[in-house]
Amino acid sequence: MWAPKIGHVLFRWTMGLPVGKRVDELNKVTGARLVKEADGWYVVFRVQTEVPEPAEHTGPTVGIDRGIAKPLALSDGSFREHEPWLTPGEAERLRRLEKARERRRRSRKKGETTSRRLARTYDQIAQLRARAKRRAVDWQHKVTTELAEVFSRVGVEDLAITNMVKSARGTVGNPGRNVRQKAGLNRAIAGEAWGRTVTLLEYKAAQRGGTVVRVPAPNTSRRCSACGLITPGSRETQARFACKAGCGYEANADTNAARNIDHAAGSAVSGRGDLGGTRSAKRQPPTKPHAV
């Protein structure tokens, strides 16, 4: 490969180009660029390919609830889970490196340049975090590909993730409460990368003739997916839902929320219908039966 101001650069192929042997005006490489990551340099190719119009997907529908304890809970009662992105040894090494970084930063005088030892610590931390991100992206690609191939319509909550991960620190005059707990929750949400999961799912579903529908988030976890009522106390614990309205429905709380998401995705063409309701018991508009 020839790079401007550098010359010819040797690189190692890690995957083939999707254009294959057919190269014409509709299937060709249109550009390439060098990208520096924490673990080295990469060549990223931009490729134009002709994609046939997909046939309409005829599979079942599903609702997905995104969470922390259960990364993805499906309305059919199944879950998509993963191990921690870093092994216990890697997590301990990252903790030690971060402590060393703070210790060396405190010992550095104001205006003094970064020492080689501190710069090396920065690089080691970046490499471990990049490894965790690669594992997360790999898991998300595999799971979203599976979901896009099986289900014709996928319902997800239309979450304002940026607002969800705002700090609870507050101000000097009005300090926040449970700041450390909220910071830990924010890190957990950011580590799951909920927005990236939906982005991957949207284009993969479109490639296979399916759709992704975003529905309003309020009350999806409080409403009974069997009778459609919102009754105080139905969410018994963080993980258990038992309807107090009399229908007797019990399920995992995330599964119940996923069923509500699937119902809402089927009842609103735009995926932004009204799921609101401030009263203690309000029925959901009639929807299509839940498809497993």
Active site residue 158: no
Please report, for residues 4, 156, 258, the alpha-carbon distance to residue 290 in angstroms, rounded to integers and kept in the order given.
Answer: 57, 15, 10
How does DSSP classify residue 4?
T
Question: How many Å apart are CA 76 and CA 106, to the nearest integer?
Answer: 52
Strands 61-66 and 40-48 turn out to be unpaired
Residue 102 a catalytic site member: no
Distance between CA atoms of 29 and 48, rounded to whole angstroms?
Answer: 6
241 within 8 A of 188, measured Cβ to Cβ: no
Burial letters for 227-255: b for 16+ Cβ neighbours within 10 Å, e otherwise?
bbbbbeebbeeeeebbbbbeeebebbbbb
Look at residue 263 and give its three-state secondary structure. Answer: helix
Helix (H) or strand (E) holding 149: helix 116-150
Give how far Cα 153 sits from Cα of 76, 123, 136, 196, Å: 13, 43, 24, 18
CA distance 64 to 143: 12
DSSP three-state, residue 35? strand
Catalytic residue status for 157 = yes
* Per annotation, catalytic residue among 76, 157, 192, 262: 157
Catalytic one of 76, 192, 202, 254: 254
Closest CA to 17 of 52, 42, 48, 41: 48
Q: At what angle do helices 194-207 and 179-192 cross, to 10 degrees?
A: 20
Q: Active-site residues: which are they?
A: 65, 157, 254
